[in-house]
Amino acid sequence: ASMAGLGSEPGELSDSELLLLLEEPGDHLRGSPVERPPQKRAQTPLEKYYLTYLCVTDLSTQSWCEQQMVYGRELPPLQAPETVVLLNTGKSIHLARELEVHDVVKVHTTSKEDSWAIKILNLLSVIPVLQAGGCVRELPVFGVIEDVFLTGIIDELCYSAKGELELRELKTRGRPFMPSGAQKKRDYFQVCLYKYIFDAMVQGQLKPDVITNHIQLRPEQPLGSQIREHAQKVGFTVTSFGDLLELMYLNLTLSDIPSIDCLKIEYSHQESNTLLGTEVVRFEEEKVREKAQNYLAYWKGQREVQGVEIEEAWKCQSCSYSEICDWRKKRILTLPNSVLHL
Ligand code: SF4
């Protein structure tokens, strides 16, 4: 069993309140310790790390430097303490924004299916809000690209004055200026993936068996009592995990929620809490798909890990792994400094 969430105990909910059942996917939930057949061939990275799905942020991190992302998984954390503080403060700011529109409750989970049920209940509870033209935060999204299951959490979805559905991603920064072009590129990719997945969801592509097959979940698994209780409070009577999946599918496909029209990233300075700037991101579906295909090819074992290209060798200067990086040694240090501008 695990505990999820913060705030009030269950049993205090009125009809007008929105539930936010929090459970961050820990790595223990991402891998499946069961049904792994004996390996006769080389393991793919997905198999090696026991992953049944990836997060959108895994791919956006990969887009900065794939080799760095792999070192981050395999080696002890080399994050500078100030980076950890920044990340923690960023999380607090996100939570404060969530609490403006949600009540957060504690929920006991008793199975892997219960943990996923929480995400699905959070999704189900915001569908009527979006249908009514309201604003939602921390919206879970799931989908499949290139046969790999992906999950993510959209910071905010609102309708603009023009009536367009707008995604807003909040990025907090330690320094009081806008990020570099390369950092923006990584963030652009992240929000484009959110749109890609969200649009597929509301277009009815997230069928129940897509989730159970990819994540190896049991539709017949009875839901824990607290999960059933919370489902009841938001108007759903469910017994098994499969019931909840059916409800999610029906609600998404019958909801008439539009695709996302506009992608925005807001950068703010953490210390002063001032807005540094807003970027509007152009969505080019073909390019997003191609990029995702390339990154997922690594995860599926179709190609070797890669580090940065020569033009981006400047990234190695601030990389914690530069001293031990094989890619850098092989590909970059063989070139003259004048080429690298190091
Ligand atoms: Fe990537 Fe360069 Fe770091 Fe190697 S040293 S992991 S290539 S950024």
**Is there a single domain that holds both residue 325 and residue 283?**
no
Q: Has the ipTM of the complex gone over 0.95?
A: yes
182 near 85, Cβ under 8 Å?
A: no
Spell out which residues line ligand 1, taking CB within 6 angstroms. 65, 67-68, 71, 307-308, 315-316, 319, 321-322, 325, 327-328
**Residue 33 resides in a domain:** no
Q: Which of 75, 186, 315, 342 to mutate to test the pocket of ligand 1 (most atoms within 8 A of CB)?
A: 315
**Is there a single domain that holds both residue 316 and residue 262?**
no
**Is there a single domain that holds both residue 94 and residue 215?**
yes
The secondary structure of 83-145 as a DSSP string is HHHHHHHHHHHHHHHHHHH-EEE-EEE-SHHHHHHHHHHHHHHHHHHHHTT--EEEEEEEEEE
By three-state DSSP, how is residue 242 classified? helix
Query: Along the 342 residues of the chain, how does pLDDT read in single tens digits?
Result: 333 333 333 333 333 344 566 554 443 345 544 455 565 678 999 999 999 999 999 999 999 999 999 999 998 766 555 555 555 666 666 556 655 656 677 788 889 999 999 999 999 999 999 999 999 999 999 999 999 999 999 999 999 999 999 999 999 999 999 999 999 999 999 999 999 999 999 999 999 999 999 999 999 999 999 999 989 988 899 999 999 999 999 999 998 899 999 999 999 998 898 999 999 999 999 999 999 999 999 999 999 999 999 899 999 999 999 999 999 998 866 666 555 544
**Is there a single domain that holds both residue 208 and residue 242?**
yes
**Residue 336 resides in a domain:** yes
Question: What ligand 1 atom has the least distance to the C-alpha of 308?
Answer: 7
**Is there a single domain that holds both residue 67 and residue 194?**
yes
**Residue 38 resides in a domain:** no
**Is there a single domain that holds both residue 242 and residue 340?**
no
**Residue 35 resides in a domain:** no
> CA-to-CA distance for 276 and 270, rounded, in angstroms?
10
Q: What is the number of domains present in the chain? A: 2
> CA-to-CA distance for 19 and 7, rounded, in angstroms?
11
Distance from residue 307's CA to the centre of ligand 1 (Å)? 6
**Is there a single domain that holds both residue 166 and residue 270?**
yes
**Is there a single domain that holds both residue 102 and residue 192?**
yes
- Which residue bears the tokens 């994050």? 79
**Is there a single domain that holds both residue 79 and residue 194?**
yes
Residue nearest to atom 5 of ligand 1 (CA): 322
**Is there a single domain that holds both residue 211 and residue 290?**
yes
Residue nearest to atom 6 of ligand 1 (CA): 68
Distance from residue 58's CA to the centre of ligand 1 (Å)? 16
Distance from residue 183's CA to the centre of ligand 1 (Å)? 15
Distance from residue 332's CA to the centre of ligand 1 (Å)? 10
Distance from residue 25's CA to the centre of ligand 1 (Å)? 27
**Is there a single domain that holds both residue 217 and residue 342?**
no
Q: Which domain holds residue 286?
A: 2-10+17-23+44-306
**Is there a single domain that holds both residue 187 and residue 319?**
no
